């Protein structure tokens, strides 16, 4: 269709196409060749257009092996996406975001807004049998559930698909798309020293050894990344990748392609660290004679040092975030924000709202730095959205304590994470904490004890021990002494909480009750 349009446009457009080529692919060798072709064929549109690949996304071009979005895929069926973590460790926030984006895609209004629900497939990439563990699998599933990211199919174990992998491998071996080779890493290195660093390794077929995929000597392997646009790799610079070990077990780049094919995945959305794996997988699809899915590579998440986020940057796993008292709602909201905007002037969203608004093509191309401060802020907002019942439940689960409801009620406006609760309100349940500095500064200070005992007397004579009555009594002390409110309230606070941080003082006193409050004040005065 695009070719026809070009046809109609005539020769004049050829010059423009040349310009586009120059702009888009720059000085890549294959672009040079294409441009030369265009120049050589001049007005021979048919010949030139034959070489001119399908424009994708309006004006991107590619050459040779092109795997762009084809209309047949786009409109053929519902979107099938997958998240495929390898169980070699806990679920990282980077992985969590990849899972989230896939989930948003599947739960969203559908590609092109056709309203069709998508399917979210969960696959466990466990072909690295050295490092994969069952415990990690369990932990990853647990983290996904906690985040509220439910899947429609799976978890599928990649190793369970071994027979199919073997069958596909045999096929490639039989039709010459792959060959055995016992070349070692040293052999590859030596090959490059001899042929040049930008020369991909090409082995010679042998009767046994690992299996390598044949990469074409010429041309490029390109694809239209849904986030980045055209991405292309010169075939000549790619090594023939090893797709199966000498013992016959398959490797990642081969297994992924076969599994994505079998699961009829339509969109592969994953981290940018996979971008250079894509041509290898594309070549597997091609060797198998199959149409590949569309790809979208997410920018990586960085730590404050600008490097790929990892354990050394602190709370980098979902479990750690949970332990730090963050809410799944906030974690989802925050990591979704790291990479795309949902609205020009608002950032607070629920999963459902994000699913409605999420657009793959709007995802940022540049890496984002994980900023815990902002997560805290968002967490506070989500926390305040919760009903007191719900928040109490979560807090009781988090602290392992019960009977927190009343304390939660008077603390909820003052905490940003679940972890903030106990340091603020724990004294209401377990009694005052020990903070000698606060005691010295507030009670041992000039007049501290006098004020405190005046406050004690006032509280002792309150008729009904309610918040308004308590407040009235203490304010009377303020008036009578001529002190500032804080000078009266702080000693009481330190007496009952042990420290200067607590929920509202009247509320705290009321919750503790007269007996306990007076006892605590007496104890403080006696200290």
Which residues in 456-515 contact RNA (CB under 7 A)?
471, 485-486, 489-490, 493, 500-507
Is residue 441 flagged as an active site residue?
A: no
Number of Cβ atoms within 10 Å of the Cβ of 381: 15
Phi, psi of 180 (to 5 degrees): -80, 145
- Minimum distance from residue 46 beta carbon to RNA (Å): 26
Scanning residues 66 to 105, which ones bind RNA (CB under 7 A)? 84-86, 88
Decide if residue 246 touches RNA (CB under 7 A).
yes
Distance of CA 503 to the CA centre of its chain: 35
Scanning residues 409 to 428, which ones bind RNA (CB under 7 A)? 413-416, 424
Which of 74, 177, 377, 405 is the binder for RNA (CB under 7 A)? 377
Which of 47, 188, 406, 419 is the binder for RNA (CB under 7 A)? 188
- Minimum distance from residue 232 beta carbon to RNA (Å): 6
Decide if residue 229 touches RNA (CB under 7 A).
yes
Contacts of 506 (CB under 8 A, 6+ apart): 467, 470, 471, 474
Strand ranges of the sheet holding 80-83, from the earlier edge strand across to the other edge: 153-157, 119-124, 80-83, 267-271, 294-298
- Minimum distance from residue 176 beta carbon to RNA (Å): 20
Nearer to RNA, 45 or 438 (CB): 438
3-state secondary structure of 123: strand
Which one of the spans 71-79, 122-130, 320-328, 448-456 is the region binding RNA (CB under 7 A)?
Answer: 122-130
- Minimum distance from residue 168 beta carbon to RNA (Å): 15
Q: Which two tokens mark 201?
A: 């390794």
x/- mask, RNA, residues 265-304, rule CB under 7 A, reads: -------xxxxxx---------------------xx-x--
Decide if residue 239 touches RNA (CB under 7 A).
yes
Scanning residues 332 to 361, which ones bind RNA (CB under 7 A)? 337-341, 344-347
Query: Which is the catalytic residue, given 189, 311, 365, 527?
Result: 311
Beta bridge partners of 56: 60
Q: Which two tokens mark 116?
A: 């069709």
Which of 32, 177, 308, 449 is the binder for RNA (CB under 7 A)? 308
Which of 118, 209, 426, 491 is the binder for RNA (CB under 7 A)? 209
Number of Cβ atoms within 10 Å of the Cβ of 515: 9
d(CA 362, CA 193): 42
- Minimum distance from residue 445 beta carbon to RNA (Å): 14
Q: Are strands 210-213 and 178-181 parallel, antiparallel or unpaired?
A: antiparallel
- Minimum distance from residue 380 beta carbon to RNA (Å): 5
Short-list 186, 185, 179, CA closest to 215? 179
Task: Write out the DSSP string of 273-311.
Answer: GGTTTHHHHHHHHHHTT----EEEEEPPEE-TTSSB--G
Which of 233, 285, 358, 421 is the binder for RNA (CB under 7 A)? 233
Nearer to RNA, 369 or 523 (CB): 369
Measured at the CA of 266, the angle between CA 98 and CA 255, to 5 degrees, comes to 75
d(CA 470, CA 474): 6
3-state secondary structure of 148: coil
DSSP one-letter code for 125: -
Nearer to RNA, 78 or 414 (CB): 414
d(CA 291, CA 265): 11
DSSP one-letter code for 317: B
Scanning residues 23 to 62, which ones bind RNA (CB under 7 A)? 23-24, 26-28
Decide if residue 374 touches RNA (CB under 7 A).
yes
Decide if residue 381 touches RNA (CB under 7 A).
yes
Nearer to RNA, 120 or 489 (CB): 489
Short-list 358, 348, 424, CA closest to 380? 348
- Minimum distance from residue 10 beta carbon to RNA (Å): 21
Active site residues: 311
């Amino acid at each position: 269709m695009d070719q026809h349009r070009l046809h109609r446009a005539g020769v004049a457009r050829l010059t423009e196409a040349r310009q586009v080529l120059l702009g888009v692919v720059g000085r890549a060798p294959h672009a040079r060749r294409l441009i030369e072709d265009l120049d050589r064929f001049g007005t021979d549109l048919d010949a030139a257009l034959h070489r001119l690949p399908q424009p994708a996304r309006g004006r991107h071009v590619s050459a040779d092996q092109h795997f762009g979005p084809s209309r047949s895929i786009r409109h053929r069926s519902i979107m099938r996406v997958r998240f495929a973590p390898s169980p070699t460790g806990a679920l990282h926030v980077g992985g969590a975001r990849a899972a989230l984006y896939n989930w948003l895609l599947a739960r969203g209004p559908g590609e092109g807004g056709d309203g069709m629900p998508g399917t979210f497939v969960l696959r466990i990439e466990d072909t690295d049998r050295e490092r994969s563990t069952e415990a990690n699998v369990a932990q990853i599933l647990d983290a996904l559930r906690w985040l509220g990211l439910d899947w429609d199919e799976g978890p599928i174990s990649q190793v369970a698909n071994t027979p199919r992998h073997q069958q596909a491998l045999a096929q490639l071996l039989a039709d010459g798309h792959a060959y055995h080779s016992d070349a070692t890493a040293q052999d590859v290195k030596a090959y490059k020293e001899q042929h040049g660093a930008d020369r991909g390794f090409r082995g010679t077929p042998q009767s046994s050894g690992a299996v390598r995929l044949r990469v074409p000597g010429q041309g490029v392997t390109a694809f239209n990344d849904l986030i980045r646009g055209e991405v292309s790799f010169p075939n000549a610079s790619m090594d023939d990748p090893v797709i199966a070990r000498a013992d016959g077990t398959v490797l990642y780049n081969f297994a992924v392609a076969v599994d994505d094919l079998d699961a009829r995945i339509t969109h592969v959305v994953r981290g940018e660290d996979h971008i250079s794996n894509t041509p290898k997988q594309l070549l597997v699809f091609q060797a198998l004679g199959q149409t590949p899915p569309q790809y979208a590579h997410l920018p990586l998440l960085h730590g404050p040092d600008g490097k790929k986020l990892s354990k050394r940057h602190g709370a980098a796993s979902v479990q750690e975030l949970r332990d730090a008292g963050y809410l799944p709602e906030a974690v989802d909201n925050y990591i979704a924000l790291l990479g795309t905007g949902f609205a020009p002037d608002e950032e607070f969203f629920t999963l459902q709202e994000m699913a409605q608004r999420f657009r793959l093509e709007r995802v940022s191309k540049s890496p984002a730095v994980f900023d815990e401060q902002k997560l805290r802020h968002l967490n506070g907002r989500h926390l305040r959205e919760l009903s007191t019942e719900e928040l109490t439940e979560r807090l009781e689960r988090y602290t392992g304590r019960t009977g927190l409801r009343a304390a939660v009620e008077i603390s909820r406006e003052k905490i940003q994470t679940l972890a903030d609760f106990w340091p603020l309100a724990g004294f209401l349940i377990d009694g005052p904490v020990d903070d000698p500095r606060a005691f010295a500064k507030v009670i041992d200070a000039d007049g501290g004890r006098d004020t405190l005992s005046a406050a004690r007397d006032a509280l002792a004579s309150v008729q009904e021990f309610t918040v308004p009555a308590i407040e009235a009594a203490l304010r009377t002390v303020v008036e009578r002494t001529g002190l500032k409110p804080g000078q009266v309230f702080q000693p009481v606070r330190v007496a009952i909480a042990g420290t200067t941080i607590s929920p509202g003082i009247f509320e705290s006193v009321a919750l503790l009750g007269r007996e306990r409050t007076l006892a605590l004040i007496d104890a403080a005065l006696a200290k």
